[in-house]
A and B are shown apart, each in its own frame.
Chain A
Amino acid sequence: MKVRIKFSKHGVLKYIGHLDVMRYFQRAFRRANIDIKYSAGFSPHQIMSFAAPLGVGLESEGEYMDVELLSFPSSHDLIWALNEQMAEGIEIHNAVLLPDGTGNAMASVTAAGYYIDFRDGFLPPKGWEEAIRDFMAQEEILYLKKTEKTEREINLKEYIFDFRLSSHAEKDCLYLMVDASSSGNIKPAMVMEKMYEFLGGYAFDSFNLLITREDTYLNRGTKEAPDFAPLDQIGITVEEESDQTNES
């Protein structure tokens, strides 16, 4: 059975890269004695897949991974057992049973939300609200997307689902929701780079952004009329069986 797990990543653990996070979880699953499925062969590995890899230096409140379990006593038990094994900074928030036939975590991702703050107190010439409104009022926001081999111009505007003033951890910041699907794969720094350019007079350095991923979303609606929901909204919370609960 496939179980989707939601976790957050904060504090010193933001310096741990994606591959190391995967290994960290594999070891945590072993320590917690979770009944996870292994691949066959000489170096058996756990059947585990992550939704959207998080870059080094980013924090997150909504990370997801799917695991294939051989038994799943209850959501609460799994969350508890894993949290016992977590290092300070990573916390498990949810574990839901996925309906049969659900695509893997990575394929389900359509969007991701981000809180964006600035290392050097970057301020736009007018106000934030105006700045964002003017930025988004552009007909198109052309961005040259480069990969190792190809270069392609895209209209970023089509990939931005939400952009506004917000607050996070008792501080004002920006909130940005972009297309995070494997075909879109928009990083907040791309949008910010264009915004700096639009406002003019600022040298852009992605190093100055302090980014926290707010959540990762799937789309329950259609492309034209999207209905975004966090990735764990399609799963089922499994309750403990009553005969296992102790007297209270």
Chain B
Amino acid sequence: MQDLFLSDEILMQISKPERYIGHEINSVVKRPESVDIRMAMCFPDVYEIGMSHLGIQILYDMFNSYEDVWCERVYSPWPDLDAVMRREHIPLFSLESQEPVKYLDFLAITLQYEMCYTNILQILDLAEIPLRAVDRSDNDPIIVGGGPCSYNPEPIAEFFDFFYIGEGETSYREILDLYKEHKANGGSRIDFLKKVATVPGMYVPQFYDVTYHEDGTIKAYTPNVPEAPAMVPKCIVKNFDEVTYPTKPVVPYIRATQDRVVLEIQRGCIRGCRFCQAGQLYRPVREKNVETLKKYAKEMLENTGYEEITLSSLSSSDYSDLPELVNYLIDICNEKHVNISLPSLRIDSFSLDVMSKVQDIKKSSLTFAPEAGSQRMRNVINKGLTKEDILRGAKMAFEGGWTRVKLYFMLGLPTETEEDMLAIGELANEIAGLFFDTIPKEQRREKIQIVVSTSFFVPKPFTPFQWAPMITEQECIDRAHVTLSGIHSQLNQKRIKYNWHEPDVSVLEGIFARGDRRVAKTILKAYEKGAIFDAWTEYFDRSKWEEAIRETGLDIAFYTSRKRADDEIFPWDHLNCGVSKEFLLREWHRAQEETVSPNCRQSCNGCGAMQYQCGVCVEPHTGEAVHDGSKME
């Protein structure tokens, strides 16, 4: 098969060869001679996960709309192929050209979760690119990082040439033009990176020196070249309605995790849940016009042939024209025999009505994410959902025929007490009781089923909880047991199922999320010991990480359970995500006072995002409580 990089012998011996052959509908193939810049977008996880990511589809489409650029895709080879490539010295290749990645100009890696960090090293290693930026020559591709984890990239900073801080749609053209100029004029890799550093939003780690206090905390970040700014601002799309959108996304052959038309209806979130990083990073909330979305929906269904469509945003219920959009989609989807896969919506009469129209009630379940069991705890985290909201929604749903309820909580939130954990079981019990009270015995077609899931809270940078101590692994296990026994002591405990995850991965996430440059050697060590695909339970190898942590002398408590002082300098403080540290600190204090803050539509909290003069910041504020009925101070 001359047009594939891997031989037929290899493809026939590995699982799912479809991951590596490219040639998908709407994938873009250009003549190499016809472009000036060649690059690849990489999602450092398996194809089915990577292909589901909207961000890459957006940027892939944008880059390929430039005549002088050919952008391809590359994903992590699954461990079976990984082993073959290492054994036979086969370099990593990109899907479209089926050529080695090492000859490209840029490799842009999206960083969506911390547990992909060893896969970044896998990608670079297989591609035969030196792992550390300072070891790369002028012939190696420029390695760029972007996505949510690039807001604290320090644990992986030394593996990247630069990080693009913020939304990818705004500033790549400028960088590509600088690159073309650089190629024409000649000059070293460092010369180019110096130019990159002058573009707002671009963070070149090697141009910053870090000094530490004796106790290990950071003393200062100091730029070591004049081109590097002391504070790197994020890039943000101001006119969100008109920004580029991929109406011809690549359609995979193999079933991807997200294998449908995805309409991004808004970016950002009006709510400031204090644990939530996305809610802060993408401020302010910006919506797309409903007419724009209708047009995209139609075009995208026509261009892909997908049998399903869904909406994407952080909190779809807050989208202003949701009823109009959903009703339109129901109409065209009926006509085209397309399914609508609803995002999670606030449970009210509108969403229940829509759900009953587009899915089989018997097979679907209601989802609530109160995140905390007690009202006190929900005030601490600023989750506007009250028990009354949940019970009202559940009652309506039971009357409408639903019998399955899923509840999501976090354990280990700041100030959490045993009472808060026990409240989880009580809430679940109350919902079950409500079912028996609402639906008379003779009308109960099915038994009520409640599934409670808890995850362990991991403090994230750029959130009010960035100062919070994370609980230890032992405490995680203890709290899960308290929660479990709390559920078991309830009257309706037979109707309640409890799921929780092992806490070992959460501890690593905690280290990486708020880690500094000294964490890099531990990641490298774990990789050298063979750690890859850490996000996959079947490949996560706890012992490799334990050894790596021990051998590199990493102090777990320093990064996770340590209490941070209000004035501590964090490893990400020289990056600016739009919200000010003063605002986050204010919110951290309000959390401890158990005081909620209004959402952006109710009134402005002065977070700092006003500087962008777009989205909700420039909408008139109502000053009234909006539809969710959450209690305000």
A interface, CB within 8 angstroms of B? 11-13, 15-17, 20, 23-24, 26-31, 33, 38, 42-45, 56-57, 85, 87-89, 119, 207
A20 touches B253 (CB 8 A): yes
Which residue on A lies nearest to B333, using beta carbons? A44
- Residue in A12, A30, A31, A119 with the greatest tally of chain B CB atoms within 10 Å: A12
| A16 and B4 alpha carbons, distance in the complex (Å) | 14
In the complex, whether B23 has a CB less than 8 A from a CB of chain A is: yes
A28 to B26, CA, bound (A): 12
**0/1 interface trace, chain B 232-264, chain A, CB 8 Å (1 if under):** 000000000000000000010111000000000
Known: A27-B251, A27-B307. A38 touches B18 (CB 8 A): no
- Chain B interface size band reads 20 to 34
- Chain A nearest CB from B505 CB (Å) reads 31
Q: B565 on the interface (CB 8 Å rule)?
A: no
In the bound complex, do residue B303 and residue A31 qualify as a contact, i.e. CB atoms below 8 Å apart?
Answer: yes
Q: Are A30 and B301 in contact (CB under 8 A)?
A: yes
Question: How many Å from the CB of B541 to the closest CB on chain A?
Answer: 30
The answer to whether B17 has its CB under 8 Å from any CB of chain A is: yes
Q: Are the CB atoms of B255 and A20 closer together than 8 Å?
A: yes
Judge whether B81 is part of the interface by a CB distance below 8 angstroms. no
Instruction: Kindly state the separation between the CA atoms of A57 and B16 in the bound complex, as whole angstroms.
Output: 11
A12 x B307 contact (CB < 8 A): no
B339 touches A43 (CB 8 A): yes
Does A13 lie within 8 Å of B305, measured CB to CB? Answer: no
**Complex contact B304–A27 (CB within 8 A):** yes
B window 17-67: CB within 8 A of A: 17-18, 21-25
Chain B residue numbers with a CB within 8 Å of A26 are 305, 307
Shortest 8 CB-CB contacts between residues of A and residues of B: A27-B305, A30-B305, A31-B305, A44-B337, A15-B17, A38-B337, A12-B21, A20-B253
Evaluate contact between A87 and B17: CB separation under 8 angstroms.
no
Residues of B bordering A, CB below 8 Å: 1, 3-4, 8-9, 11-13, 17-18, 21-25, 251, 253-255, 301-307, 336-337, 339, 358-360
Tell me which of A16, A24, A207 contacts B12 (CB under 8 A). A207
Chain A residues with CB under 8 Å of B13's CB are 207
20 residue pairs A–B, Cβ–Cβ below 8 Å: A11-B1, A12-B22, A15-B21, A23-B253, A26-B307, A27-B304, A27-B307, A29-B305, A30-B301, A30-B305, A30-B307, A31-B303, A31-B304, A44-B339, A56-B17, A87-B24, A87-B25, A89-B23, A207-B12, A207-B13
Q: Are B25 and A15 in contact (CB under 8 A)?
A: no
- Indicate which residue in A11, A23, A33 contacts B3 across the interface (CB closer than 8 Å): A11
Known contacts A12-B23, A30-B307; 13 additional CB pairs below 8 A are: A12-B3, A12-B21, A16-B18, A16-B254, A17-B18, A27-B25, A27-B307, A30-B305, A42-B358, A42-B359, A44-B337, A56-B12, A56-B17
In the assembled complex, which residues on chain B have CB atoms less than 8 Å from the CB atom of A87? 23-25
Residues of A within 8 A of B339 (CB): 42-44
Q: Which DSSP category, helix, strand, loop or mixed, fits chain B's interface?
A: loop
Most chain A CB within 10 A, of B9, B21, B22, B360, is at B21
- CB of A50, distance to nearest CB on chain B (Å): 16
B258 shortest CB reach to chain A, Å: 15
Q: How far is the CA of A30 from the CA of B1 in the complex (A)?
A: 30
Q: Are A88 and B23 in contact (CB under 8 A)?
A: yes
Our pick among B9, B22, B255, B305 for the contact of A28 (Cβ within 8 Å) is: B305
Write the chain B residue with the least CB distance to A41: B360
Distance A119 CA – B306 CA, assembled complex (angstroms): 38
In the complex the two chains form, what is the Cα distance from A239 to B358 in whole Å?
A: 40
User: For residue A12, which residues in chain B have a CB less than 8 angstroms away from its CB?
Assistant: 1, 3-4, 21-23
Task: Tell me whether A23 and B255 are in contact (CB under 8 A).
Answer: yes
Which residue from chain B places its CB closest to the CB of A45 in the assembled complex? B307
Point out the residues of chain A lying under 8 angstroms from B358, CB to CB. Answer: 42
A16-B253 in contact (CB<8A): yes
Whether A27 touches B4, Cβ cut-off 8 Å, given contacts A15-B18, A42-B358, A87-B24, is no
Task: Specify which chain A residues have a CB less than 8 angstroms from the CB of B3 in the assembled complex.
Answer: 11-12
What separation, in Å, do the CA atoms of A31 and B306 have in the docked complex? Answer: 8
Please tell me if the beta carbons of A42 and B12 are within 8 angstroms of each other in the complex: no
Task: Name the A residues within 8 Å of B22 (CB-CB).
Answer: 12
Contacts A16-B253, A44-B337; is A27 near B306 (CB within 8 Å)? yes
In angstroms, Cα B17 to Cα A117, docked, is 21
* A56→B21 CA distance, assembly (Å): 13
Q: In whole Å, how far is A60's beta carbon from the nearest beta carbon of chain B?
A: 16
